[in-house]
Amino acid sequence: MAEEKKSFEDNLKDLEDIVTNLENGNVPLEEAMENFKKGISLSKKLEKTLSDAETTVTKIMQKDGSESTLEDKDNEGNE
């Protein structure tokens, strides 16, 4: 599906547009059903994207181009 290539923002925008469009009414029923299905599928996909994303650890880019984990200095009470 071509939609797979769309960014999270684009998909969210699509979903918002669909909702607004449906809320405004005046949508032919067939189109509304189609949009509704699309909207539900988009919302699930968006939710899944976020839910599936794992919590990340901050990396540090070394001069040689390698990334290593950056330890936060939380314990040092630095602010």
Interacting residues toward other proteins by CB under 8 A: 7-9, 12, 15-16, 18-19, 22-23, 25, 27, 29, 32-33, 36, 39-40, 43, 46-47, 50-51, 53-56, 58-61, 67, 70, 72-74, 78-79
Q: Which is nearer to other proteins, 4 or 79 (CB)?
A: 79
Q: Tokens 């949508």 sit at which residue?
A: 27
Give the residue from 42, 48, 1 showing the smallest Cα distance to 19: 42
Closest CB 64 distance from other proteins, rounded Å? 12
Helical segments of the chain, H only? 8-23, 29-52
